[in-house]
Every structure is written in structure tokens, then in C-alpha cells.
A and B are shown apart, each in its own frame.
Chain A
């Protein structure tokens, strides 16, 4: 199947190879949570809710000099094409929970909140490729909404390589093609990589190009997230009457 049309250069959904899908972020979608966010990347919709810092529920897991970060990733039954009941602890969910936790732990200033717990719950409502990245972006927004001190904004984006072209932000069809899929998570301002995962194989020089493309996508998302947070702050200011 031709993933990039040879005549026009368009992808299957009409994007150019360097185009990201339309992104949308909204803060404060879960009223009960300390912080929450909804993040959409094209048709992929993800909700993140953050509870914390609060008292550690399991005293055996308490760390005395820093906060405990826990993360749970789950996909709703209706999120994919066929409605299937997903077991909660299945290997893919556990791996992605671990990945999101480690990514966020790298940027949260955990030493400021010893003996406390921060819970990040991420739920995929609609899955169309790039759920991992959308989850990390949603978690960043939710953590910022909860007012948890962070070193920097963590953003994530994926890129692939099909029909000899590096493609940014793969959707489900392009992802299932079995080609390489590089997911990158960076700290936007300090320019540090916190997550790098890849499926399939790539020659090293092409890999550098694909990773660079993903990093640029991450920076664009960071720009957008910053705007969303700024708007939210202005809204809070006006409500306070400042």
C-alpha cells in the first residue's frame, strides 16, 4: 500500500509528511481531580487526571525524601474499532504505565514533596495511533493544572518511516503498517530527552532524521501546551478580578 502518494506527496489522510494532526488541549475536565486535562491528537482522545500531592495510601511504599509517583494507563473498551474488554493488568498497559511514570518522574520536582503521593490516571477514550504520546502530553497538562512543581514541560510525539519518507505523527493505519515507529519525549526548554522508544528496525542515519523530526513535533506541541496554560491562567486571573 502506498502510504505517501508518489504524485502529490500526500499521505493517506491528506497530510504532508511533516504535518502533525490537529491538536487540542483542555484543562479542568474532571472536576473532582486536583488537576485534569483532555488532549486530542487528530482522532486520538485521551483524558488525564492527577491526584496529589496527598498522603501515601500504602505506608510500605512511602519514600522518606521524595514523593511517590504512580501512574495507571488504561484504554476504554470503546476506544478501538472492536469493543473488547481489556484486562487491567495486561502487559502492554503495564509497560505504558511504567513508561509514562518514568517520563513524568524525571520532570516532577519530587524532592519538594517528601512522604507524599502523586497519582496520574490516564484513560484513552479514542485510539487512532500515538496514544502513548497523547497520554504524556495530557499528563503534563494535568500536572500543570494541579499545580505540581515541574522542571519543564514534557511533550511527546511519534514519527515513522514509510515509503522511504520520514512521517510525523503516525495515525493507526500508518502505525499498523509494521514500519518503524519512533516515540520521543523531551523536556522542551532544557532540550533533554526523557523517552525514546522504537519498534521495528531502521538504519542509523535514517533513524537520526526520524528522531529529529519527532523532536520538532514535540517542540511544536510544547509551544501549543504553553499557550493553553497561559490562556487558562488569564481566565483564572479574570475570575479572581485581577
Chain B
């Protein structure tokens, strides 16, 4: 994370040396083993498609929404999935409000690569009318508290919210079978997304000239 602002908390030389020396003895600052995760809690919102993940002190919230749009010209029978990240100064004073910085975009692209480019979310089932109307799924990741390892937490949050998201069912009806009717959730049960597999992100850090890994 390269946020070089006056607000960035700088680590003292003592703290840096302490962490490195402790790692040499296989000890971490919070008494974990080198390959231990912090306890993880996932809470879901009342409405499908929202989740909050707490990984130790890190909190990330994810919200999924959908919209009917025109598909891309070179993929007329596939829906779209886009991931947006919000790094608010509430999470860390080093984050700037407004446009996402480099790390925010990198995090978004990593989660995006895991979900979209690996084919985890089925895009063809999101097609309504080939070449005209497809569902566009938008995942918004909000970082609420930066306690480290944002990528893993954000990935879990995105997965959790996509799994609980339900989109309204729509059918073609009307006089000439060309009118699109989006059914209310009271009329027809909303449909879940088809997710083929769950990509899980695991982040490692390497200390001491590449000798120690946590």
C-alpha cells in the first residue's frame, strides 16, 4: 500500500526490528502461528445480497445489486459482473476520500479476476434477450476498518454476498411476446445466481530477504 500522506502511520524502527526478530523465532505479534488465520465472522443482511465480514480487526462490507442493460457487442449472450471498491478514510486515515487510489483498484481487480475471469459466476444465465437485454451484476465492496489483509476479507465478503443475492425473475410476455415483465418479489420467487465454484484468496507475506513466510 503506497499512501504517502502526512496521515500515514509510520512504523518505528523498534517496532520493525521487533517484528522481524520475533518472526525469526516463529512468533507473530498477536501470538498466532505463521500460517494461522484470525477468527472470521460473516454476517448477512436482511435483504439478500449483502454481507459483512470481520477478519480479526478488519471489516469489509459487500453489497450486490443488479440492473438490466445492453450487453457488450462482442458478448451478446452474456451478462456482466463489475466490482467496485470504496476505501473510505473511516477505515484508515491514509485513505483519501473520493476517487479510488491504486491499491483500491488493485484489490478490485484481484477480486474481479477471481470471480469473473475464472468463470465462477455463470454469465450466460444472466441473458434475457440475446443482444438486447442482460443482467448487469454490480458488487460494491466497502472497507469499514483496515486491520490488514484486505484482499482476503474483501474476497470472502464478495463471495458471501453473491451467494445470498437473489435477482427478480423476468419473463417475456405482453401482446407480441416482446414486452419484458419484471416480476415483483411478491409474485414470483427471486432467483439466485449460478455460481460454479468459490475462488478463495489467500495472501502471504515474505520477510527476511525471502526466507520467512507468514
Contacts and interface: CB of A to CB of B under 8 A. Distances in A.
Contacts of B102: 94, 97-98
Interface in B108-130: 108-109, 113, 117-119
B190 to A, nearest CB: 29
Contact of A200 (B99, B108, B119): B119
Contact of A91 (B5, B105, B117, B210): B105
A89 B6 contact: no
Nearest to B102: A98
Contacts of B4: 60-63, 68
A201 B199 CA distance: 10
A55 interface: no
Which of A92, A94, A97, A199 has the most chain B CB atoms closer than 10 A to its own CB?
A94
Contacts, number: 31
A91 B4 CA distance: 21
B106 interface: yes
B211 to A, nearest CB: 13
Contact of B109 (A95, A198, A201): A95
A99 to B, nearest CB: 8
A94 B210 CA distance: 27
Interface residues of B, number: 15
A33 to B, nearest CB: 23
Contacts of B5: 60
Contacts of B103: 98
A89 B99 contact: yes
Contact of A60 (B6, B99, B105): B6
A236 B187 CA distance: 79
A200 B118 contact: yes
A201 B106 contact: no
Interface string A85-114: 000010110110110000000000000000
Contacts of B117: 199-200
B213 to A, nearest CB: 14
Which of A60, A63, A95, A199 has the most chain B CB atoms closer than 10 A to its own CB?
A95
A199 B113 contact: yes
A95 B102 CA distance: 7
A236 to B, nearest CB: 35
Nearest first, the 4 closest Cβ-Cβ pairs linking A and B are A201-B118, A199-B117, A61-B4, A98-B102
24 contacts: A60-B5, A60-B6, A61-B4, A63-B4, A68-B4, A89-B99, A91-B108, A91-B109, A92-B109, A94-B102, A94-B105, A95-B105, A95-B109, A97-B102, A98-B102, A98-B103, A98-B105, A98-B106, A192-B210, A199-B113, A199-B117, A200-B118, A200-B119, A201-B119
Interface of A: 60-63, 68, 89, 91-92, 94-95, 97-98, 192, 198-201
Given A62-B4, A94-B105, A201-B119, 14 more contacts: A60-B4, A60-B6, A61-B4, A91-B109, A92-B109, A94-B102, A95-B105, A95-B106, A95-B109, A97-B102, A98-B102, A98-B103, A98-B106, A200-B119
